[in-house]
Each structure stands twice: as structure tokens, then as C-alpha cells.
């Protein structure tokens, strides 16, 4: 663990690149905006492999098409990281920033479709090694990422582990992805229950890989009934996306699915959901990173 003085020197060098010990950097931070005007959406699920990373990317690209400024924060420690889906190879991630080996701007990469990505997963665990001053300082920097964007899409790892839950709960809303697989509903219910218990205000549900709209609707209705009866909460339906065998193929060949199949049901519905999101009331006050790491985060 770095001693505190060294940590602060590195953090301060990052904030003031011209200062002694700092290094010049490309300023990719967009113009500062009113605090709280960036809407954070946690794309989450009860189980893995349901399409969270793909949907994070689609949603980000659909929002970017509407001229929204979008940053995807990759918070998934799993293997299929979103930068692979975006065809970018990050040299650094948040863990390097935490260790003082690069600036925060260095981890933000331009991806296809006007979307940017920040690989964050391993850094979140690494932040546990910083003391409270170090965390506070880094959070102030992370918040500038939000201030420069209209939407922060957080691609979350699967499951109801503490990390995944804490990350999801820090967002303004959750987009809960489920599939017609038999265990998906029970896993999604467990996730929704824990998220509501952590104070999540809004959960929208996206049924992915449905074999028909009727099947997707039936799954949503079942889920909504469960959540209504046992948790007394309401859910929104973000959309039903069909199974499309072209998704893995296009991803493997690094081609943008939405650009390649703009008239597909998936493209049309993701675009419609992005438009609906833009019409919702503004984000709650505060921001994702302060809620995630702020003084009250552990309560």
C-alpha cells in the first residue's frame, strides 16, 4: 500500500497535470455540467450471460444517436469485458489510476457509435487500499466524468454479490435483464428484492433472448406479479428483445450490431427505449460515484 503522502502527490499530480511530478495529458473531459444532471443506469441481472454487456453497449449507442453524451463504465470483473464488445483495447484501467500509474482521463476510450468506455472493474476493488483522503480525492475526479456526460451506463457483473449490489444501488435506476431461462426469473426476483431494500427507486425490466413477444410479455407479467405481491413495488417494462443469432457473430467480427442491422427489432426497440429515457424527469440529485464511495456508502 502506498503511503499517504505519496498517494496525495500522485492524486494531486493527476488533478494538476502541469504541477511538479505531473505529466501532460489529453483532456478528454467534456465541458463541466450541472451536478446531478447525468443520469446513471446500472445494467444488472441475477445471472450471467443474459446480455448485460451487449445491452449496455446497444443502449449507449442508441442514446449517442440522440446526440446524448454517454460513458459506459465497465464494472464487470467477468471475462467478456465490454471493451471487447466495443473493439477497443484499453492500456489502463481504474486500478492503474488508483495506484497512481496513469490519469483518470487515460482510461477513457472512444468506442464505436460515439460512445466512450472506462474500464473500471478491477479499480473498484483496488480502491479499498486507499485511505479516506485518497478515496475522496479520486471520487472528486470520477464525478467529473459524470459531469461531462448525459448518461452513465454501468455494466455490472452478474449476481447478487455485495459488489454488484452496491454498484447497482448507487445508480439512479436499474435496468434488470432477464431471459426465458427457467432460473432467470427467480434470480431476477432475488436481485430486485435486494435492490429495493437498498433504496433503489426505479427498476426497468428488459426481457432478452425471447423467442416471441408473447413469451417476453408473459415473463414480464409473471415477474411484475411476483414483485407486486411480495414486495409491493412496481416495475417498468423497458422492452422485449428477440433472440438473434447474428449478435454473437457480429460481436466476434467486431462489427456494430445496431449499425449493421438498423431495422432489426433489437435496434428499433433499443432506440425507442433510449428515446423514452430522454423523456423521463431529470436524474435524482447527487451522483453515482459519490453515492458509491461517499461517506454514507457503507450504511
How many residues bind Mg ion, per CB under 5 A? 3
Instruction: Specify burial of residue 257 (Cβ count, 10 A radius: 0-12, 13-18, 19+).
Output: buried
Residues of 192-211 as b/e, b for ≥16 C-beta within 10 angstroms?
bbbbbeeebebbbbbbbbbe
Residue whose grid cell is 477513457: 108
Of the two residues 50 and 283, which places its CB atom closer to ligand ADP in the complex?
50
Shorter beta-carbon distance to ligand ADP: residue 40 or 53: 53
Coil/strand/helix, residue 31: coil
Return the residue of 39, 47, 59, 76 that touches Mg ion, per CB under 5 A: 76
CA pair distance 178, 163, nearest whole angstrom: 19
Q: Which does 287 bind (CB under 5 to 8 A by kind): ligand ADP, Mg ion, none?
A: none
109 beta partners: 117
Residue of the chain from 21, 87, 199, 248 that contacts ligand ADP (CB under 6 A)? 248
In the complex, minimum distance from the CB of residue 53 to Mg ion, in angstroms, rounded to a whole number: 3
The values of phi and psi at residue 117, to 5°, are: -135, 145
Contact in structure between 36 and 150 (CB atoms under 8 Å):
no
- Interface positions, 190-229, toward ligand ADP (CB under 6 A): 208-209
> By C-beta, is 53 or 290 nearer to Mg ion?
53
Q: 295 touches which of Mg ion, ligand ADP, none (CB within 5 to 8 A by kind)?
A: none
Provide the minimum distance between the beta carbon of 156 and ligand ADP in the complex, in angstroms, as a whole number: 9
Task: Name the residues that contact ligand ADP, by CB under 6 A.
Answer: 45, 48-54, 80, 208-209, 241, 243-244, 247-248, 251
Amino acid at each position: 500500500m502506498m503511503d499517504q503522502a505519496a498517494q496525495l502527490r500522485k492524486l494531486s499530480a493527476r488533478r494538476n497535470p502541469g504541477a511538479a511530478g505531473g505529466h501532460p495529458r489529453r483532456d478528454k473531459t467534456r465541458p463541466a455540467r450541472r451536478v446531478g444532471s447525468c443520469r446513471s443506469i446500472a445494467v444488472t441481472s441475477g445471472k450471467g450471460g443474459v446480455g448485460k454487456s451487449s445491452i449496455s453497449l446497444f443502449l449507449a449507442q442508441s442514446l449517442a444517436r440522440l446526440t446524448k453524451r454517454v460513458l459506459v463504465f465497465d464494472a464487470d470483473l467477468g471475462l467478456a469485458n465490454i471493451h471487447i464488445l466495443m473493439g477497443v483495447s484499453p492500456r489502463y484501467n481504474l486500478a492503474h489510476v488508483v495506484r497512481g500509474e496513469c490519469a483518470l482521463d487515460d482510461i477513457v476510450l472512444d468506442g464505436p457509435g460515439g460512445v466512450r468506455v472506462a474500464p473500471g472493474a478491477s479499480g473498484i476493488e483496488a480502491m479499498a487500499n486507499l485511505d479516506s483522503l485518497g478515496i475522496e480525492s479520486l471520487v472528486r475526479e470520477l464525478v467529473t466524468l459524470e459531469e461531462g456526460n448525459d448518461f452513465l451506463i454501468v455494466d455490472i457483473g452478474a449476481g447478487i454479490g455485495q459488489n454488484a449490489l452496491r454498484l447497482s444501488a448507487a445508480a439512479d435506476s436499474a435496468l434488470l435483464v432477464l431471459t426465458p431461462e427457467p432460473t432467470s426469473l427467480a434470480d431476477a426476483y432475488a436481485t430486485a428484492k435486494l435492490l429495493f431494500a437498498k433504496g433503489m427507486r426505479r427498476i426497468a425490466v428488459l426481457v432478452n433472448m425471447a423467442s416471441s413477444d408473447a413469451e417476453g410479455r408473459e415473463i414480464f407479467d409473471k415477474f411484475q406479479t411476483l414483485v407486486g405481491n411480495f414486495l409491493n413495488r412496481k416495475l417498468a417494462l423497458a422492452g422485449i428483445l428477440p433472440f438473434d443469432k447474428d449478435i454473437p457473430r457480429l460481436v466476434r467480427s467486431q462489427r456494430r450490431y445496431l449499425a449493421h442491422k438498423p431495422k432489426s427489432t433489437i435496434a428499433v426497440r433499443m432506440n425507442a427505449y433510449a428515446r423514452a429515457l430522454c423523456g423521463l424527469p431529470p436524474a435524482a440529485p447527487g451522483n453515482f460515484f459519490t453515492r458509491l464511495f461517499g461517506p454514507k456508502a457503507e450504511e
